[in-house]
Amino acid sequence: MSLYNLQKFLYELNRDESIQANYSENSEALIAGYSLTDEEINALKEGDIGLLYVLGVNGQILMHYAALLGIEWFDYLEMMREGVRIHGPVRDGVYAMTGGGESFTNEEKER
């Protein structure tokens, strides 16, 4: 249920500009409106893409959230890999990493 709430919070944030407008000043109060674990709350406070990925946040929700935070594309991919390196495999959902974290694009490899 907690992952559901975590995703619901991000879903609401991603799609509502009025929530986004207040998020930087009011994030703690907004987050407090959802029943979340301490780990989830800290991940949100830190904008910890890697941990949110491992917790099982749906990849599309997480991708939109990362864009909202202004994270560059290749940095976002690397943050997810780093999350797996630190916290282990994705714990829920269908967005698990299938390989060893290698890149599938020349553009990223050549960076």
Binding site for another protein (CB under 8 A): 4, 7-8, 11, 14-15, 58-64, 67-68, 70, 73, 77-78, 80-81, 84, 94-99, 101, 103-108, 110
Nearer to another protein, 45 or 101 (CB): 101
In degrees, to the nearest 5, what angle opens at C-alpha 46 toward C-alphas 25 and 59? 105
HEC string for the chain: CHHHHHHHHHHHHHHCHHHHHHHHHHHHHHHHCCCCCHHHHHHHHHCCHHHHHHHCCCHHHHHHHHHHCCCCHHHHHHHHHHHHHHHCCCCCCCCCCCCCCCCCCHHHHCC
Least Å distance, CB 31 to another protein, is 17
Number of neighbouring beta carbons within 10 Å of residue 30? 16
We find the least distance from the C-beta atom of residue 32 to another protein, in angstroms, to be: 20
Nearer to another protein, 38 or 100 (CB): 100
* Residue with smaller CB distance to another protein, 36 or 63: 63
The tokens describing 53, both together, are 């990925």
Nearer to another protein, 46 or 108 (CB): 108
Nearest approach, Cβ of residue 76 and another protein (Å): 9
Least distance (Å) between residue 106 CB and another protein: 5
